[in-house]
Amino acid sequence: MVTAITNLGRSGLYDWLIQRLSAVAMTAYIVFLVAYLVMNPELDYGQWSALFDQLWVRVFSLITLLSIVAHAWIGLWSVVTDYITPMTLGGKAVVVRVLAQVVLGVVAITYTVWGIEVLWGL
């Protein structure tokens, strides 16, 4: 079995499981937000702000943010390793693949830090 150091899990099974669990977390968050919006048709800024001042909503939002990043990383890692190959790019495939993964990693870290700053007001 080949284990790449740039994938999130240690094997395809772990990556698959992380993607499924992250999808469940994201779905639960979307259902929660849609239900809240439907139950509060006259929603104003004060109510919205009060909702996100609650610790459990911030934690739920943080879990969802981390789920989005993990889900996207695994999906994009799969796409990059499937489509940037020696057959498509010749000898430069490894360099292009690593560069693409570094760029995607920097973007993922940037969005994660930014999301934490927005959620926790840091």
The residue whose two tokens read 């739920």 is 60
Q: Is 121 helix (H, G, I), strand (E, B) or coil?
A: coil
Helices (H), the chain: 12-39, 45-53, 55-83, 86-89, 93-120
Task: Please indicate if the annotation marks 29 as binding a ligand.
Answer: no
Q: How many residues does the chain have?
A: 122
Task: Please indicate if the annotation marks 71 as binding a ligand.
Answer: yes
The token pair that represents 93 in the structure block: 């495939």
Extract the annotated binding site: 71, 83
Extract the annotated binding site for a ubiquinone: 83
Extract the annotated binding site for heme: 71
